[in-house]
Chains A and B, each alone.
Chain A
């Protein structure tokens, strides 16, 4: 039993309905891509939760470092002028 090779891990993304993004819902094991889609249907969409499924092998995902204080995100931190609230506009100017 122990020498059996484990099936690869897939991450599952489901589009709830047309017009929405695919969103990560969880993961599962499958022998190949097609079986991963079938398993994802049974595991994650038993109650009409989706109209479209993506699966991707977990090992194929490249991620940023897990640290939330990562310098990768630092450049966005001090650029408040990218937000509309940075600009003061008189209250009586319409449609702004």
Chain B
């Protein structure tokens, strides 16, 4: 790293602060504080890894989808997750880190992904519940990120949000179809919602009081809302959807608070959350092992394509 003179440093910082203050976007070649760059790399990479690992729980059901229609939808959705991962990896790379480093950090456990994907998909109803609740929570998180202060991240989020709406609707429609079916199918939906409700609430991260990075991230315009604000928004959105569907959300404390004009709800099990984040969730090891295997099994394809490209270039030179 080259040292720059204090006067220039001060001018660059003033310019950066002014851009943030005027709600303008920071672009890749702008000067930015090291902390801003590091926070973005951590957050966008974690987001990218989540999309990539998120292909696994649902991919699990592609071969067992009950109809060609459902199979085509699920394939398209899982392909979208791959696309979303790629948009976000590209955005991360504009911050000066390589794709290879990002992949290695994921499979060596040095960067994280959303803890929700460490829960298993035990029944086919989980495909619907993931679309409704997990993608619903993701949309709550992601819509405000379209206005994040880092240009490439915001642009990736705009593309992703446009596509994410299909994900939520196909899930909800799937659950509606099952709820119109047999008692057994309705029980499957309820059982699935019971398992996913609390992990979905945890997707917004720890309570604000235990989220030390939030204040700085909001000052920098990286985050636009606190974890607790977004969690409340998600609960308020989900309650009428659950009623329309005819399922019960597994929280005895959940009720409308006329005074706050919001729903009161119970506290997620933060001990469980920390366990899953630290790697002791039901599927952590399996998810990473699968990702590592896919990467290593694909090595010969990458090598062959590189060799083919090199030989074609030689051909042109001759």
Which of A22-30, A72-80, A84-92 contacts the other chain? A22-30
Are A46 and B79 also in contact (CB < 8 A) when A4-B303, A31-B309 are?
Answer: yes
Nearest CB to that of B85 among chain A residues? A43
Cβ–Cβ contact A28 & B86, under 8 A: yes
Of A26, A46, A63, which contacts B80 at CB under 8 A? Answer: A46
B69 at interface by CB-CB < 8 Å: no
Q: Please give, as numbers and ranges, the residues of chain B lying within 8 Å of A9 by CB-CB distance.
A: 93
| Total residues of chain A contacting the partner, CB 8 A | 20
Give A6 to B159 CA distance when docked, in angstroms.
26
> Is the pair A32, B308 in contact by a Cβ cutoff of 8 Å?
yes
Q: Which residues of B sit under 8 angstroms from A32, Cβ to Cβ?
A: 305, 308-309, 312-313
A31-B305, A31-B308, A66-B30 as given contacts; A4 in contact with B100, CB under 8 Å: yes
Does B156 count as interface, using CB distance less than 8 angstroms?
yes
B46 at the interface (CB under 8 A from A): no
The DSSP consensus for interface residues of chain B is: helix
Q: Within residues 122 to 181 of chain B, which ones have a CB less than 8 A from any CB in chain A? A: 155-156, 159, 163
In this complex, which of B28, B99, B156, B295 has the most chain A Cβ atoms within 10 angstroms of its Cβ? B99
By size class, the interface of chain B is: 20 to 34
Find A43's partner among B83, B104, B302 (CB 8 Å cutoff).
Answer: B83
Asked if residues A5 and B86 are in contact (CB atoms below 8 Å), the reply is: no
List of B residues within 8 angstroms of A47 by Cβ: 163
B residues touching A (Cβ–Cβ < 8 Å)?
A: 27-30, 76, 79-80, 83, 86-87, 90, 93, 98-100, 104, 155-156, 159, 163, 295-296, 299, 302-303, 305-306, 308-309, 312-313
Given A1-B296, A43-B83, A46-B79, 15 more A-B residue pairs with CB atoms under 8 Å apart are A1-B299, A2-B100, A2-B104, A5-B306, A7-B302, A7-B306, A9-B93, A28-B86, A31-B302, A32-B305, A32-B312, A35-B305, A43-B87, A46-B83, A66-B29
- For the complex of A and B, the 9 pairs showing the least CB-CB separation, nearest first, are A66-B29, A31-B305, A32-B309, A31-B309, A27-B90, A6-B100, A31-B306, A43-B86, A43-B83
